[in-house]
Every structure is written in structure tokens, then in C-alpha cells.
Amino acid sequence: MAKRGESKVQKSISAPKVRGISRKGDVFTPKSKPGPHNKHTSVPLSYALRMIIGVSANLKETKKILSEGNAKVNGIVRKRIEFPVGIFDVVEVVALKSKYRIILDAKGRIVAKKIDTKGGNFKVSKIVGKRVVKGGKIMVMTNDGFNIPLGKDAVNVEDSVKISLPERKIEEVYSMGKGSSAFIVGGVHTGKTVKIEGVMPGSIKRHTLVELIDKEGKFQTVIDNVFVVGKAKSEIEALS
């Protein structure tokens, strides 16, 4: 009989590095299904609850939490164990009245940072596309699957938006420009919160570069590695 579709299992040895799991531990690990994040930049909700946040000891307990509606992602109850959770998503464990923001550590692994109630009322998303819709309004598409109308405000791809949860309304726009605060999501500086010094336009042969500064000095990286998270001050809680 012919094979139908992709494999329904994920081996640990080929799992995305954002999970940071031991390649020589368990043979299999939960697999993400299609959703707002791709499998290379996210982990399944069941994996986040059990292995990252640590509110369950095994898959049976995790399924019970999900089936009872005790897990929310960005303010919406999610019950699929394979639902993908990615950077800056807010995961809430309703029964414990606790909220966590998903971020990256210095090695590019997904970790959870516990936040207060106020911090869990929003998330920051990166604009990856935009188009003009009826009435001359701008519709922006974000890295986490949101399609949100913005009105007629000027906005560019690579900028970021602060989105209220669970309403999904844009509260503020953070431009990719000098003085803005940014979080590094790729390269040797992953996990750092930095200030943008300037943006150097690219060409056919060269990527657009961003000049950044932190307490250790100045450095440059490609624009794909830079995620704007605030104006003068970061809106995202960094790892302590």
C-alpha cells in the first residue's frame, strides 16, 4: 500500500534544534502540526507544557490539562497536543493562574519566562508582509500567522507590532530603525536584547545588515536575525 502523506512521528535525532533535547535519549518526541509557526521555529504545545514549563509529568497528564481547557495560547484555549508554540507566544495555565512568554536562550533553544498578568495581555509580532485592501487600508501579515488591518498608518515589512490579547488588535508599531530595542533570534548573538544603531540596505549580492549595540559593544547581523521588540525600551522580558 502506498504511503499517505508525511510521517506522523518525529525522531529525536532529527528534531529541530530549538527543542534542545538529547539526541541519545528517547527515540521519539512529539511532532508539531501545521499552524501559526513552522516546525523549525516552534515546539508542540504538549512539549511546551511538559518539558519546558514543567506543569505535567507525562503525556497522560498533559492531555488531561488540554482536554479540560486549562491551556491557552495567546488568550485562546487550545486542545491539540500538536499545536505549534513559537517565539513570543503567551502560554497560560488557567488552573494555576500562571502565564509564560516563549523566548530563545543564548543557544537558540525555546524556553519559557514566567510573566505577570499585565505582561500576558499582549505579544509582539514581526511584520513579514503587507497589502492594501478595500478602502485604502493596510492589512499586515505577521510571522505568527496573524492578518490584521492597520488603517492607513505607515508601516514597513521588518517592523513589529504590539498586539493586544485575546482581542488581536494592534496597539503600537515598532519601526526597524535607529534607537529601537530589538531581540536577536539567530546567529551567535541569539537571545540578546540590543539597541539598533542603523540599517544598511542590501543588494542583489548582499543581505540587508543591521548595526546593533549592547553592553559588550557593537556588532552587525543580517536583518532576518533581528526582531524589534520596543521603541526606546524592550517590551519583552529578557532571561535573568
What is 10-115's CATH topology?
Answer: 3.10.290
159 pLDDT band (50/70/90 cuts)? very high
pLDDT reading at 175 higher than 80:
yes
* Residue 172: exposure state from Cβ atoms within 10 A (0-12, 13-18, ≥19): middle
Question: What counts of helices (H) and strands (E) characterise the chain?
Answer: 2, 19
- Summarize pLDDT for 106-146 with one digit per residue, the tens: 999 999 999 987 778 999 999 999 998 888 888 999 999 89
Please say whether the structural domain 181-230 has been given the CATH code 2.30.30.140.
no
- Summarize pLDDT for 37-51 with one digit per residue, the tens: 988 899 999 999 999
CA 1 vs CA 7, 72, 80: distances in Å: 15, 39, 29
Q: Is 45 helix (H, G, I), strand (E, B) or coil?
A: helix
174 pLDDT band (50/70/90 cuts)? very high
| Average pLDDT, integer, range 177-199 | 93
CATH class of 121-174: mainly beta
Task: Say yes or no: do domains 10-115 and 181-230 share a fold.
Answer: no
In this prediction the pTM is 0.88
17 pLDDT band (50/70/90 cuts)? confident
**Spatial separation of the C-alpha atoms in residues 105 and 82, rounded to whole Å:** 22
Tell me the domain boundaries of the chain: 10-115, 121-174, 181-230
